[in-house]
Amino acid sequence: MILLGKIALGMAGFAVAGAGLLCSEGFVDVNVVQHRDSPPHIHVIAPALLAPIAVRLVPNDKLGEASEKLQPWLPTVRAALDGLRDSPDMTLVEVSDPNEYVHVEKRYGDIVVDIANREETVHVSVPIRAIHSTVDALADVSPENTNSD
Amino acid sequence: MDKRWILGAAAAAFFCVLSVPAVAAPADRYLHVQVSDSGNKGEDVNVNLPLSVAEKVLPTIDRGPLHQGRVMLDRDQLKGIDMPTILEAIRNSPDNKLVTVKDKDGENIDISKADGKIVVHVNEPGKKGDNVNVTVPIAVVDALFSTAQKNEINVAAALQALDNAGDSFLVTVENTSEHVRVWVDSHNQPQ
């Protein structure tokens, strides 16, 4: 009985540690609401830790071109992300016209993009750390390993 | 008695440490761009960028004429122009109108020096004519042309100088329907 208790406690600890690890990078939140016809509503909340892992799981030949294009801009993207991470919460870009509203802000360590127009409303929130890790994962895709045929 | 004295001294030291004001970190500064179009498009644009981010990003861009925060000019663009001497002369001159140009179409251009800044006013005639004001601290112009002898414009150094300069409007463009403002201050949102 005591042994079973110990096993249960170990499993519970493992589950808590796993959940903690999974949540450590925050969450990616994507919410798309379409206004026309029969409106499909897409709302995905996923652990941000999965984004770089997903990039590493995609075959190299699928990401080779993206990685190649990203390479020259890597220092710029990293510098921008580092700078944004250290800056306070703020609205970065706000564009509005009679047909569309776009808002990009830094909020609680996330980059939050809101787009609203007549056809749809889009909300995307991604932790800066997750963007950094995903960019790093994408950069690690070696062009030599890709199939360019 | 000794213990009390030691405790009293420790308490006094503790409160002294608490009461010493922390050395304030320099406030972040922000570049703001605001475009408001009350015409047909009815578009409003707000961009707020921490100068520290721009200072970190700019030197990493290595594309076209921009390398390490410097813009390479074509060979002859600054040939024969002694920018350091011109800027030195402007810096040492009293506040004054430096250049006034008025063309036959009625366009006015005034360049003057005031309060350590170079101020450019351009006034286009007519209903759709733009009214442009550009105000740049001389320190920023100095930094911008600090590498002019190498035929370069040093944008990174100008940004750094802008970061050290006081709050100021850099550019305003106004006509009947459009208003553009570019300014630097310590607020992360437009005030």
Answer whether B68 touches A (CB < 8 Å): no
Structural domain range at position A81:
26-145
* Interval B94-150: pLDDT, tens: 998 989 999 888 889 999 999 889 999 999 887 778 899 999 999 999 999 888 777
Q: Which ipTM did the prediction report? A: 0.77
Domain membership of residue A16 (yes or no) is: no
Answer whether B61 touches A (CB < 8 Å): yes
Residue in B42, B47, B56 nearest the CB of A98: B42
Domain membership of residue A32 (yes or no) is: yes
* Confidence band of B16 (pLDDT split at 50, 70, 90): very low
Q: Is B63 in Cβ contact with A72 (below 8 Å)?
A: yes
The structural domain count of chain A equals 1
Answer whether B85 touches A (CB < 8 Å): no
Domain segments of chain B as ranges: 25-185
* Interval A32-57: pLDDT, tens: 998 877 667 899 999 988 888 888 88
Q: pTM of the full predicted structure?
A: 0.78
DSSP code of B60? Answer: G
Q: Is B61 in Cβ contact with A95 (below 8 Å)?
A: no
Cβ contacts below 8 Å, chain A against chain B, sum to 62
A84 CA: distance to closest CA in chain B (Å): 7
Instruction: Name residues whose C-beta falls within 8 Å of residue B17's C-beta, 6 or more positions apart in sequence.
Output: none
Residue in B43, B53, B62 nearest the CB of A87: B53
Domain membership of residue A138 (yes or no) is: yes
Residue A25 has pLDDT above 70, yes or no: yes
DSSP code of A134? Answer: H
Residue A69 in contact with residue A79, Cβ under 8 Å? no
Answer whether B53 touches A (CB < 8 Å): yes
* Confidence band of B167 (pLDDT split at 50, 70, 90): confident
Distance CA A17, CA A19 (A): 5
Q: Is A4 exposed, middle or buried (0-12, 13-18, 19+ CB in 10 A)?
A: exposed
Q: Is B57 in Cβ contact with A83 (below 8 Å)?
A: yes
Residue A122 in contact with residue A114, Cβ under 8 Å? yes
